Amino acid sequence: MIKQYLQFCEEEQFEPLSRATLFRVLEVREASQQKSLSGLDNIAADGSARFERLDRIVDELSRIGLEKDVADELRRSLRDGKRYFKTEYQSHCQVDENQCPDHCRKLSLSDPKDPDFQEHCTHQQTLRCPQYDDITLCLQTMHQIVKDGKNLSFYSQEQQGDFLYDIEKSSEAIVQWKAHIMRSVDQEQAKLDILAKLDQSSCLLVMDWAMKFLQLR
């Protein structure tokens, strides 16, 4: 926790307290974990941070025996994956129907169990997304490398377990980030559709958790 705080202070160019003082603070006021509210943009922030965490795991694996060419390939996949989610993926989801299941809004946003919340595509999904497949393969490879532990010198079984836990949680956060982008594109299109249909007797209200409105009439 202190390491994360010091890193945050460094990024914000803020002068933190000393490590000794921070440890004394934690002795007096123990750490607590809070779950964020769903739907806020911290989904994107968490997904981006998880890519950085995976990159640090690759660095740590390199120090305990991971081959250089394997580590370089993993870093490349993580770097390209993060850039893909930040830039290209949103543009790939602009069309309602797409032959790639990772880009098709109708397929991705349909409930697989509830027919009232399903929308069927007029074509089959026969294409693949090479960028997302590369990310998926990278995450699976990292998990398998740590799980097998071949040629890796973990200083304890606990370290190996921590790596596996972080990789699994990072994978979940990345999938959630992908879903969040898909929902955001669909919601933005819905907003544009509503704006196009507004008339003199209607209005659009945009509400967030920190907003309130008082109706006049």
Do 58 and 164 fall within a single domain?
A: yes
pLDDT at 211 over 60: no
Residue 103: inside a domain, yes or no? yes
Do 177 and 113 fall within a single domain?
A: yes
How many domains, in total, are found in the chain? 2
Contact residues for 155 (Cβ-Cβ < 8 A; gap 6+): 64
Residue 204: inside a domain, yes or no? no
Do 119 and 157 fall within a single domain?
A: yes
Do 23 and 61 fall within a single domain?
A: no
Residue 213: inside a domain, yes or no? no
* Comparison of pLDDT for 128 and 24, the residue scoring more: 128
pLDDT the model gives residue 174: 95
CB 100 within 8 A of CB 128: yes
Residue ranges of alpha helices (H) inside 19-129 are 19-28, 42-63, 68-83, 89-92, 105-108
At residue 97 the predicted structure's pLDDT band, cuts being 50, 70 and 90, is: confident
Q: What is the rounded average pLDDT of the residues 61-75?
A: 94
pLDDT at 143 over 80: yes
Supply the pTM of this predicted model.
0.71
Residue-range definition of the domain harbouring residue 19: 1-31
Do 24 and 46 fall within a single domain?
A: no
pLDDT the model gives residue 26: 79
Residue 11: inside a domain, yes or no? yes
**175 exposed, middle or buried (CB, 10 Å; 0-12, 13-18, 19+)?**
middle
Residue 209 DSSP symbol:
T
